[in-house]
Amino acid sequence: MTTTLPAYDEVVARYEPVIGLETHVELGTNTKMWCGCPTDFGGEPNTRVCPVCLGLPGSLPVANKAAIEAIIRIGLALNCSIAQWCRFARKNYFYPDMPKNFQISQYDEPICVDGYLDVEVGGETVRIEIERVHLEEDTGKTLHVGGATGRIHGATESLVDYNRAGIPLVEIVTKPVVGTGALAPEVAKAYVTELRDVIRTLGVSDVRMEEGSLRCDVNTSLNLPGQEWGTRTETKNVNSLRSVERAVRSEMLRQASVLDAGGRITQETRHFHEDTGDTTPGRSKETATDYRYFPEPDLVPVAPDPAWVAELKAALPELPRVHRRRLQQQWGLSDLDMQSVLNAGAVELIEATVAAGTTPAAARKWWLGELSRRANESGVELADIGATPAQVAELQGLVDAGKLNDKMARTVLEGVVDGEGSPTEIMTSRGLEVVSDTGALTAAVDEAIAANPGIADKIRSGKVAAVGALVGAVMKTTRGQADAKTLRELILERLGVQG
């Protein structure tokens, strides 16, 4: 790309973005959508297969009730109406990772329709409308061997692994999101984040983007204010929350530069590249494939009993938004403080740390301070930093017990992040315990008094503030392993001065 991209501020000043998100969630059911094969990730290729998920002649699908229950719960959590009667449909196209050369999906009768999800961006609530939520089966995976790119071009062999074929997949499609202006990339990220949290709360998927159990396609278009929506592109291969934001931003910039130069946007699929942060064209969608959808004749219609749906609705867990509001109150945080907790992705981490016995303030201090700093430096999500809430709670426990001071605690935390073990183990292995043996400490204090007679006199004569210098001196000789407060009291006591 030789074109110089325009500045983002200028782009959003000139154009209005419209975005739309299609999210695929692999359900965490024990068995596949149409057969009894296990769904766990990994495993030797083609070991979790049977006649049904291999599409062998004569085999037939039987719908997984747990998957139907899971999608209804997702629909309810997203404020959707649940269809009283709907059918699966066949989406026909030839591809070797599709055992039957058709995918069992849903077409004009999705099981959940017309919902919404509220997300918070910059202190504002944005309502993202959900068009549909439907159930389908995942495909196998194709591996192209022998080429330079790993793509089919230039490959000498193509291998197919059907372990993933038939795993239940939920597709969640938003209505076009308009009017978010410069915030569009953030709104996209906030939506996927909130969606992930909702689904995780429901316990129906592990929603891990890096393992592909949560996948997101981002549709983006730009239009001039007051004019019709522009041609959209669909960006695939967006594999992290951060990438969702980057992909929208990058596509907005690219489209603006094309439009600025008088060009037109091609309706196409584009691939996002994590390393460069930009998108490149995939297959063109202008010659639309005719999928020849028709109702799946091998399955009976899904007609969930309204009483059952009502039961599922009543049993929904507290959803993240409500949960967060309750936590904010319990933790006594201002909206602004809560926002920074959210931005850092620290809600659940702090919550778990508090649950392990730490005060909210201390938990927040560690996760938003030292740990967030480390996460930013190494460019990972806070949750993946390597420290667990239990470890943070243990660390704070050591501080509260007077065994570590603040500076030492930070050193121990470094060790935790670097995987050296538990805080207690690191404290021992790094020899970082507060000197609490009064005999040794008293000796060190007496030594410091003897070495600094002038300062000692000052203190004796009432200038208590000068005690700091002696505290510093003792800290130096004990290599910081003393509790400053205890030390101060001890010095005053040895000098016969009332604190």
Partner 1 sequence: MSSDLTRMTATEIAALVAGGETSAVEVTRAHLDRIAAVDEQVHAFLHVDTDGALAAARSVDERRAAGEELGPLAGVPVAVKDVLATRGVPTTVGSKILEGWRPPYDATIVQRLRDAGTVMLGKTNMDEFAMGSSTEYSAYGPTHNPWDLSRIPGGSGGGSAAALAAYEAPLAIGSDTGGSIRQPGAVTGTVGAKPTYGGTSRYGLVAFSSSLDTPGPCARTVLDAALLHQVIAGHDPRDSTSIPQPVPDVVAAAKLGATGDLTGVRLGIVSEFVGEGAEPGVMAAFRESVDALTKMGAEVVEISCPTFSYALPAYYLIAPSECSSNLARFDGVRFGLRVGDDGNRSLEEVMSLTREAGFGPEVKRRIMLGTYALSSGYYDAYYGQAQKVRTLITRDFTAAFERVDALISPTTPFTAFPIGARTADPYQMYLADLFTIPTNLYGGPGISVPCGLSEGLPVGLQVMAPTMADDRMYRVAAALESAVGTFTPPAL
Positions in the binding site for partner 1 (CB under 8 A): 51, 54-63, 90, 92, 94, 96, 99-102, 152, 156, 158, 160, 290, 292-294, 297-300
Give the residue with the Cβ less far from partner 1, 46 or 193: 46
Residue 306 Cβ vs partner 1, minimum distance, rounded to whole Å: 22
- The strand pairing partners of 135, in sequence order, are 170
Let me know: does 49 contact 56? Beta carbons within 8 Å: no
CB of 173 to partner 1, least distance (A): 20
Closest C-alpha to 276, from 75, 1, 39: 1
> 3-state secondary structure string, 393-411?
HHHHHHHHCCCCCHHHHHH
CB 161 to partner 1: min, Å: 12
What's phi and psi for 305, nearest 5 deg? Answer: -60, 125
Nearer to partner 1, 102 or 367 (CB): 102
Q: Among residues 96 and 402, whose Cβ is nearest to partner 1? A: 96
Quick one: which of 115, 111, 113, 112 has its CA closest to 86?
A: 111
Pairing, β 89-92 against β 294-295: antiparallel
Q: Which two tokens stand for residue 136?
A: 């389908």
Shortest reach from residue 63's CB to partner 1, in Å: 7
145 or 322: CB nearest partner 1: 145
Give all strands of the β-sheet with 279-284 in edge-to-edge order.
81-82, 112-121, 124-137, 168-174, 16-26, 214-223, 233-238, 268-272, 279-284
Smallest separation (angstroms) from partner 1 to the CB of 296? 8
CB atoms within 10 A of CB 15: 22
Asked whether the beta carbons of 89 and 105 are under 8 A apart, the reply is: yes
Q: Which is nearer to partner 1, 96 or 317 (CB)?
A: 96
CB of 295 to partner 1, least distance (A): 9
Q: How far is the C-alpha of 469 from the C-alpha of 148, rounded, in Å? A: 66
Alpha carbon distance 371, 374 (integer Å): 5
Residue 300 Cβ vs partner 1, minimum distance, rounded to whole Å:
5
Residue whose CB is less far from partner 1, 56 or 316: 56
Least gap, CB of 98 to partner 1 (angstroms): 9
C-alpha dist (Å) from residue 102 to 14, 134, 217: 43, 16, 21
The residue whose two tokens read 């910081």 is 480
Contact 205, 49 (CB under 8 A): no
Give the nearer residue to partner 1 in terms of CB position, either 283 or 325: 283
Residue number with CB closer to partner 1 (64 or 405): 64
Burial class (CB in 10 A: 0-12, 13-18, 19+), 84: exposed
Question: Do residues 185 and 252 touch, judged by C-beta distance below 8 A?
Answer: yes
Q: What is the nearest approach in angstroms of partner 1 to the Cβ of residue 142? A: 10
Q: Pick the closer one to partner 1 by CB: 152 or 361.
A: 152
Specify the residue, 28 or 61, whose C-beta has the smaller distance to partner 1: 61
Q: Nearest distance from residue 46's CB to partner 1, in Å?
A: 10
